[in-house]
Amino acid sequence: MGVFLNPDNSAFQVALNSEIYVDKTGLINYTNKVLNTLQGYICNSRPRRFGKSITANMLAAYYSKGCDSKAMFSSLEISKSNDFEKHLNKYDVIHIDVQWCLEPSGGPEKVISYISKKAIEELNEYYPGIITEKTKSLPEALAQINTAYGKKFVIIIDEWDVLIRDETTNRKEQEEYINFLRSIFKGTEPTKYIQLAYLTGILPIKKEKTQSALNNFDEFTMLSPSIFAQYIGFTQNEVKKLATTFHQDFNEVKRWYDGYLLKDYQVYNPKAVVSVMLRGEYKSYWSETASYDAIVPLINMNFGGLKTAIIEMLAGSEVKVNTNTFINDIRSFHSKDDVLTYMIHLGYLGYNQKTKTAFVPNEEIREELTNAIENKPWNELFLFQRDSKKLLNATLNMDGILVATQIEKIHNEYVSAIQYNNENSLSSVISLAYLSAIEYYFKPIRELPTGRGFADFVFIPKPEHSTTYPALVVELKWNKSAQTALKQIKDKKYPSSISNYSGNILLVGISYNEKTKVHECQIEKYVKD
């Protein structure tokens, strides 16, 4: 056992020892399936605290010759597989945590040489007399061992992209690192000594101009998770079980931490879920694991439409995003879409594969993004929030005339002339207009089902504001009166959808006339039966 070669299983044992461990060993069924195939080159990218290292440690513990892990895995999902023991602790494993290597190597510029030297030393001890004295290259050493013994390796690299993310200005070091990875994994010779290659980090594989640096890897990302969807983060069913075990309100957990849509799974940030289960505090745990430094420079970039898109998503809307332009190089942002795509990879935005839209996934992230923006000199947001707060106060004061005036102002200033008379634009305007409500209310519920129809918008106050702020049931009408909107709310008993809410409720009817371009608003208190 060495630092890199054939590690023991102690790192994964730490995860198993924890009060909360959610079994993700089913992923090994897939890696076993692709061993020694062209599909055995895997890059699984995911945000911070989404279990990257635990997964890497799990794979190392399962495949490494350096330990006996049968007892460790015997009660886990993978033990039910027919080939469970066939591959258990049968391979030479090289497990590298690039983040960890930064300190002992003496800096990013020395990481490659440190990894190569250390790994070759360990290989020489394990297979003495095979590696020649002149060998300085890790792939050459692996090839020599393969030639002598026919051995194939499982290579696991954790935080593979740390030099891409943290050394954005050092082009030389980045190119050297990509070339280092290419030499290990790309070409005919590596197919002889690679049993399985597993890279994990925040970013997908960096694309070079040639598009061929590491194009033999299958990518599983926040944009396209494929078979890995249920193994990235916690699924809804897993969270439900945890909520029952730890006596937490599942609906609150869902409201705060749900929202990452990966294929057919609703996925939660594991760090946040574990924290709320153990502490019982509903708050943002994101800032405890990631800083604003990663996103503030991005949202302050003056790309056309970026800031408006951020405002729309904070207000609860989804925004179209072209993810194809992003080349996984944070030095080379050229558009709003590049920034939004990067924020998806970072976990600050969710992504819907079917609609190709980005959105703020949950209350935790909504809060973090709002704080990040508010703490920066972002004049557009300041002015918009000022107008939005005036609108919210007018709503709470039941001043329908002022509400209509503010909605008209926002409609005129933030919706393009082409879209102005689009019925859907009114819905977007309302989302934007009530942006300031996020301080006191949860994300507005769109098209909330009721006994007799769907309420357009429902705003539920956060628990700490439920005694001072009423719930808002909002109905929109196009080319009809605000009174008609109010009548529909009452006739179809929309407030019944939140009958469990014990506080006050305001009914808000809003209309827009396409010909006159006049907005109207009427507000009433809901009188409970």
Residue 419, SS3?
A: coil
Total structural domains in the chain? 3
**Domain span including residue 111:** 10-220
Same domain, 276 and 338: yes
Residue at 27 is within a domain: yes
Residue at 24 is within a domain: yes
Residue at 2 is within a domain: no
Same domain, 205 and 244: no
Cα(290)–Cα(309) distance, rounded to whole angstroms? 22
Q: Which of 497, 308, 512, 495 is nearest to 403 (CA)?
A: 512
Strand order in the sheet with 234-235: 234-235, 265-268, 260-262
pLDDT, tens digit, 9 for 90 and up, residues 311-324: 888 888 889 999 98
* Element containing residue 412 per DSSP (H, E): helix 400-414
Same domain, 283 and 363: yes
Same domain, 438 and 519: yes
Please say if the pLDDT value at position 43 is more than 90.
Answer: yes
- Residue 266, beta-bridge partner list: 261
Please say if the pLDDT value at position 423 is more than 50.
Answer: yes
Residue 413 CB coordination number (10 Å): 11
Same domain, 160 and 197: yes
Q: Which of 374, 407, 441 is the endpoint of a domain?
A: 374
Joined together, the tokens standing for residue 153 give 């390796």
Same domain, 216 and 288: no
Residue at 299 is within a domain: yes
pLDDT, tens digit, 9 for 90 and up, residues 150-207: 999 999 999 999 988 876 667 788 888 989 999 999 999 999 999 999 999 998 886 6
Please say if the pLDDT value at position 382 is more than 90.
Answer: no
Cα(272)–Cα(4) distance, rounded to whole angstroms? 31
Cα(124)–Cα(436) distance, rounded to whole angstroms? 63
- In this structure, of 18-22, 175-179, 289-293, 446-450, the range with the lowest mean pLDDT score is 289-293
Q: Which of 352, 374, 396 is the endpoint of a domain?
A: 374
Same domain, 324 and 404: no
Residue at 452 is within a domain: yes
User: Average pLDDT over the chain, rounded to whole?
Assistant: 87
Residue at 228 is within a domain: no
Q: What pLDDT, on a 0 to 100 scale, did the predictor assign at position 374?
A: 66
Same domain, 72 and 203: yes
Q: Domain holding 57: CATH number?
A: 3.40.50
Same domain, 178 and 139: yes
Helices (H), 34-170: 52-63, 70-73, 84-87, 98-105, 111-126, 138-149, 162-166
Q: What pLDDT, on a 0 to 100 scale, did the predictor assign at position 417?
A: 44
Same domain, 54 and 190: yes
Q: Which amino acid is at 317?
A: S
Residue at 351 is within a domain: yes
Cα(266)–Cα(258) distance, rounded to whole angstroms? 7
Q: How many alpha carbons fall within 13 Å on the CB side of residue 383? A: 9
Joined together, the tokens standing for residue 73 give 């895995």
Residue at 4 is within a domain: no
Which pTM was predicted? 0.86
Same domain, 98 and 207: yes
Residues 6 or more apart in contact with residue 43 via CB below 8 angstroms = 160, 199, 200, 201, 204, 205, 214, 217, 218, 219, 220
Residue 158, SS3?
A: strand
Please say if the pLDDT value at position 474 is more than 50.
Answer: yes
Q: Which of 341, 374, 407 is the endpoint of a domain?
A: 374
Cα(30)–Cα(185) distance, rounded to whole angstroms? 20
Joined together, the tokens standing for residue 27 give 């992923």
Residue 409, SS3?
A: helix
Q: What pLDDT, on a 0 to 100 scale, did the predictor assign at position 418?
A: 43
Same domain, 464 and 485: yes
Cα(202)–Cα(435) distance, rounded to whole angstroms? 30
